[in-house]
């Protein structure tokens, strides 16, 4: 008879407590589905006295999570502490060096050290599961790595951060300002007290780096991701986008091209008929394009204790059944070192919003700059007038190169008639 699979959990926050609850309260169901018993044998957290709603008296307690990874009576170490280095990294490294399987939800750790950790897991002959690190309860890692294993994937893109999607959705529905909606998201628990990783695009970039590696069989390269956030998006931009037939979404976009791999995170306008345009609130969605399957869309809750814990347990299920697959689709020795395609080479349409003085000749000045930089205007909108005598002017641009657009922006910003930094948003016809 197959012996029980012994689990130790490092980190008992909301996700860790939810994982423990599933392991304990659904033990019979898990045994039926996994073909063997699954037993919680050890846990580690900072505060032993805190009530987590789960009975832990029969479970070994470790004050030091890194020590638990080495010494616990466990086959699998679940790391739910978080952070790109420090104790979380030590837990994973200690577990792998001791020949234990690792399951983690830590996208920051994997985005920066994923290739090294994958190599350590491969050398030890154990699993490194991280389904919970991308898109919460949406099984996107398994889908890309195994479900679409017969495809040459050319593109993967999506809404990878529920906090930003909630903020942009609420701004659109209410017309409220960014900082007002951000404060509400913090009160509701959708955004952290320090929201930097979310609203500046870093969290989405961590996830995109992992998806690109799985999709394209390349080394994880977080530094290759071009990252922009949503701080500069105004309710006015969102309203103009609606008028023009678009929705603004923070997207992670990875493409395999003849020149190399593009990895980009930024807010962009997507057409109303695009699948991602109607993914609202805290939901995530990932679109995968493969040569055999065509386009597939995976959607669901991207965060929260329940969805994330569900993804953690799905990795435990694979280990219980004896399924150990390459971490990033192929063995580490076969991961390619892909050439990074610079954002300056992007070709596509663009949206500009300028605040200019309401006087003759302003549009002519802007047009002259665009002409010099070989940027062609598709449409122009002008609305209202402020008390200071300035007006918003919105331009949409035909497909052009990013480098030209950036030069034009620099020159337009320097015009005396432009009273605040221009807003530029890329348009993506995905």
CATH number at residue 398: 3.30.70.260
C-alpha distances (whole Å) from 114 to each of 68, 80, 95, 111, 253 are 22, 16, 15, 6, 19
3-state SS string for 90-133: HHHHHHHHCCCEEEECCHHHHHHHHHHHHHHHHHHCCCEECHHH
Residue (of 136, 142, 162) closest to 307 by Cα position: 136
Our CA angle for 209, 212, 218, nearest 5°, is 100
User: 216: which residues sit within 8 A by CB, 6+ positions away?
Assistant: 153, 254, 256, 261, 336, 338
pLDDT in the model for residue 137: 84
Q: Is 212 inside any structural domain?
A: yes
The tokens describing 3, both together, are 């012996």
105 and 28 in a common domain: yes
Per-residue pLDDT band for 386 (boundaries 50, 70, 90) equals: low
pLDDT bin (cut points 50, 70, 90) of residue 48 is confident
Same domain, residue pair 209 and 295 = yes
- Candidates 340, 343, 351; CA nearest to 429 is 351
Give kind and range of the element (H or E) at residue 134. none
Report how far residue 421's alpha carbon sits from residue 411's, in angstroms, rounded to the nearest whole number.
11
Confidence check: pLDDT of 156 > 90: yes
Asked which of 133, 157, 182 is the last residue of a domain, the reply is 133
- Domain range enclosing 423: 344-427
Task: With respect to residue 310, please indicate whether it lies within any of the assigned structural domains.
Answer: no
Task: Based on the fold, state whether residues 149 and 112 are members of the same structural domain.
Answer: no
DSSP letters spanning 77-96: EEE-S--SSHHHHHHHHHHH
- Looking at the fold, whether 386 and 269 belong to one and the same domain comes out as no
My answer on whether 123 and 152 are in the same domain is: no
Instruction: For residue 177, give every residue at least 6 positions away whose Cβ sits within 8 Å of its Cβ, in sequence order, or none.
Output: 171, 234, 235
Asked if residue 129 and residue 15 are part of one domain, the reply reads yes
The CATH number covering residue 128 comes to 3.40.50.720
For the chain, the domain total comes to 3
- What is the distance between the alpha carbons of residues 394 and 292, in angstroms, rounded to a whole number? 40
CB neighbours (10 Å) of residue 379?
11
Tokens, residue 164 = 């930003």
- Domain assignment present for residue 325? The answer is no
Q: Is the pLDDT of residue 387 over 70?
A: no
Higher confidence at residue 51 or residue 317? 317
Angle between helices 202-216 and 107-124 (to 10 degrees): 30
CB 274 within 8 A of CB 68: no
7: tokens are 């689990």
Phi and psi at residue 239, to the nearest 5°: -65, -40
Rounded to whole angstroms, how far apart are CA atoms 41 and 35?
19
Q: What local confidence, expressed as pLDDT, does residue 382 receive?
A: 83
**Rounded CA separation 204/165 (Å):** 11
Residues 295 and 147 in one domain: yes
Which of 87-96, 165-174, 334-343 bottoms out in mean pLDDT, i.e. has the lowest?
334-343
Nearest to 147 by CA among 280, 273, 286: 286
Q: Which residues are marked as active site?
A: 207
- Residue 328 phi, psi dihedral angles, 5° rounding: -115, 50
Same domain, 85 and 35: yes
Looking at the fold, whether 364 and 230 belong to one and the same domain comes out as no
**Does residue 226 belong to any structural domain of this protein?**
yes
DSSP calls for 344-358: GG-EEEEEEEEEEES
The pLDDT of residue 224 is 96
The conformation of residue 40, written as its DSSP 8-state character, comes to E
CA separation, residue 358 to residues 355, 368, 385, 393 (Å): 9, 18, 8, 10
Radius of gyration of the chain (CA): 24
Percentage of the chain modeled with pLDDT above 70: 99
- Looking at the structure, tell me whether residues 129 and 144 fall in a common domain: no
- Choosing from 301, 331, 353, the residue where a domain stops is 301
417 located within any domain: yes
Tokens 């050398």 correspond to 123
Assess if residue 331 is contained within a domain: no
Whole-structure pTM value: 0.94
Number of separate helices (H) and strands (E) present in the chain: 14, 16
In this predicted structure, the answer to whether residue 188 has a pLDDT above a threshold of 90 is no
The verdict on residue 56 lying in a domain is yes
- 175, 86: one domain: no
Which pLDDT score, from 0 to 100, does residue 52 have?
A: 79
Q: How confident is the model at residue 1 (pLDDT cuts 50, 70, 90)?
A: low
Quickly state the pLDDT bin for 232 (edges 50, 70, 90).
very high
CATH number at residue 183: 3.30.360.10
């Amino acid at each position: 008879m197959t012996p029980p699979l012994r689990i130790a959990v490092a980190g008992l926050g909301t996700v860790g407590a939810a994982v423990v609850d599933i392991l304990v309260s659904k033990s019979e169901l898990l045994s039926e589905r996994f073909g063997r018993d699954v037993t919680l044998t050890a846990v580690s957290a900072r505060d032993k006295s805190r009530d987590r709603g789960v009975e832990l008296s029969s479970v070994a307690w470790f004050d030091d999570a890194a020590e638990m990874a080495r010494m616990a009576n466990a086959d699998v170490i679940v790391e739910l502490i978080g952070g790109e280095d420090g104790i979380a990294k030590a837990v994973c490294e200690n577990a792998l060096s001791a020949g234990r399987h690792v399951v983690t939800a830590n996208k920051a750790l994997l985005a920066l050290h994923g290739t090294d950790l994958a190599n350590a897991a491969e050398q030890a002959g154990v699993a490194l599961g991280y389904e919970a690190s991308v898109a919460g309860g949406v099984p996107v890692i398994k889908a890309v790595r195994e479900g679409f294993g017969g495809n040459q994937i050319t593109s993967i893109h999506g809404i990878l951060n529920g906090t930003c999607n909630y903020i942009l959705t609420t701004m659109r529905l209410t017309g409220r300002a960014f900082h007002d909606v951000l404060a509400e998201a913090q009160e509701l628990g959708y955004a952290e007290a320090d929201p930097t990783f979310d609203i500046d695009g870093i969290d989405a970039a961590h996830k995109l780096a992992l998806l690109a590696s799985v999709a394209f069989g390349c080394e994880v390269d977080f530094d290759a991701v071009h990252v922009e956030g949503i701080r500069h998006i105004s309710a006015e931009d969102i309203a103009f986008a609606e008028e023009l037939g678009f929705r603004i979404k923070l997207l992670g976009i990875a493409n395999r091209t003849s020149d190399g791999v593009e990895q980009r995170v930024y807010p962009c306008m997507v057409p109303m008929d695009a699948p991602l345009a109607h993914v609202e609130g805290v939901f995530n969605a990932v679109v995968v394009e493969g040569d055999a399957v065509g386009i597939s869309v995976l959607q669901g809750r991207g965060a929260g204790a329940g969805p994330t814990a569900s993804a953690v347990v799905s990795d435990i299920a694979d280990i219980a059944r004896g399924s150990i697959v390459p971490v990033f689709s192929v063995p580490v020795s076969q991961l390619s070192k892909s050439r990074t395609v610079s954002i300056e080479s992007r070709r596509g349409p663009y949206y500009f919003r300028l605040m200019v003085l309401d006087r003759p000749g302003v549009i002519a000045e802007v047009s002259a700059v665009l002409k010099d930089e070989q940027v062609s205007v598709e449409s122009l909108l002008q609305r209202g007038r402020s008390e200071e005598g300035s007006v918003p002017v919105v331009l949409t641009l035909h497909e052009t190169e990013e480098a030209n657009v950036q030069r034009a922006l620099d020159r337009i910003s320097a015009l005396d008639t432009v009273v605040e930094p221009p807003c530029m948003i890329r348009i993506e016809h995905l």
